[in-house]
């Protein structure tokens, strides 16, 4: 059944959804055709398209240059409501240097672990050493325990240390209160545990939620891999957009 581009809005996770996951965040490959398709899709949807990522918005702009899109970054701690507007940051969500030092001390005991400081969250990547996951998780939970108001969010070979006040679902809710998203039916595609609040947010608004690479009970359907998401986006560009 075709989707009406005048009545839907599109929210897209990036790593593992639009892009194939790489060993390091900086090693991802952005196909030129994807940048073109995102630009065309954003135009055809009247601007009702946003990237919803754990990356910073500055990082997203670098990845998809010269394209600038509406976006939320670092799991909702950053948001940009229009490509022409500045990035809004929740400074209260910034993590103190003391937490970063604690995370670094933990990581030093696990060879192969890669750290990522995004100011509002700290990513601890262990794709090169997957066997350390249980011990690494336990050590991180101990390091960021009370009195800090923090959560440890597991993802695909990564643990994210962040505050509980922000998530992708809340960010999608903020977009849905703004033009051009308001009044449209939301569609969200994501691949990870970090995307579950986004799935819940669109389902609560009568929207469609799609997982990538795995079937989840909280979604409408699923894509086999990021390549399938990119192909689906291409159908939108060619005026062939249908439900996955």
Least confident of 37-41, 59-63, 187-191, 192-196: 192-196
- 114-151 tens-digit pLDDT: 999 999 999 999 998 999 999 999 999 998 886 777 88
Confidence of residue 244 (pLDDT cuts 50, 70, 90): low
pLDDT of residue 211: 95
pLDDT of residue 233: 94
* Peptide linkage before 213 cis (omega within 30 of 0): no
**Upper half-sphere CA count for residue 98 (Cβ side, 13 Å):** 6
**DSSP result, the chain:** -B--TTTEEEEE--BTTTB---SSGGG----HHHHHHHHHHHHHTTT-EEEE-SS-HHHHHHHTTT---EEEEGGGTEEESSTTSPPEE-GGGPPPHHHHHHHHHHHTTSTT-EEEE-SSEEEEE-TT-GGGHHHHHHHHHHHT-TTS-EEEEEETTEEEEEETT--HHHHHHHHHTSTTTTTSEEEEEE-SGGGHHHHHHHHHTT-EEEEESS--TTSSEEESSHHHHHHHHHHHHTT--B--
Confidence of residue 236 (pLDDT cuts 50, 70, 90): confident
- The domain 92-163 having CATH identifier 3.30.70.1020: the answer here is yes
CA distances from 16 to 103, 117, 224, 226 (A): 24, 20, 11, 6
Which positions are catalytic?
A: 13
pTM for the complete prediction?
0.91
Q: Do 164 and 150 form a contact (C-beta atoms < 8 A)?
A: yes
Confidence of residue 242 (pLDDT cuts 50, 70, 90): low
Residues of the chain with CATH 3.30.70.1020: 92-163
Q: Do 226 and 205 form a contact (C-beta atoms < 8 A)?
A: no
Mean pLDDT of 170-174: 97
CATH class, domain 8-89+166-237, is alpha beta
Residues of the chain with CATH 3.40.50.1000: 8-89+166-237
């Amino acid at each position: 059944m075709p989707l009406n581009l005048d009545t839907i809005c599109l929210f897209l996770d990036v790593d593992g959804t639009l892009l194939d996951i790489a060993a390091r965040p900086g090693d991802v490959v952005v196909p030129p055709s994807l940048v073109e398709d995102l630009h065309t899709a954003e135009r055809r949807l009247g601007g009702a398209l946003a990237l919803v990522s754990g990356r910073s918005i500055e990082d997203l702009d670098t990845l998809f240059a010269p394209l600038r899109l509406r976006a939320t970054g670092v799991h909702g701690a950053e948001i940009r409501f229009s490509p022409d507007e500045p990035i809004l940051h929740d400074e209260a969500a910034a993590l103190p240097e003391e937490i970063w030092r604690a995370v670094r001390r933990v990581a030093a005991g696990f060879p192969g672990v890669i750290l990522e400081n995004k100011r509002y969250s700290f990513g601890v990547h262990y794709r090169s050493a997957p066997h350390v996951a249980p011990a690494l998780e336990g050590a991180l939970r101990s390091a960021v325990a009370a009195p800090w108001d923090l959560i440890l969010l597991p993802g695909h070979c990564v643990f994210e240390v962040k505050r509980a006040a922000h998530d992708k679902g809340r960010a999608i809710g903020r977009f849905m209160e703004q033009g051009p998203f308001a009044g449209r039916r939301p569609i969200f595609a994501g691949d990870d545990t970090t995307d579950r609040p986004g799935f819940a947010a669109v389902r609560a608004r009568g929207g469609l939620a799609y997982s990538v690479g795995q079937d989840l009970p909280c979604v409408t359907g699923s894509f086999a891999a990021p390549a399938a998401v990119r192909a689906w986006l291409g159908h939108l560009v060619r005026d062939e957009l249908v439900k996955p």
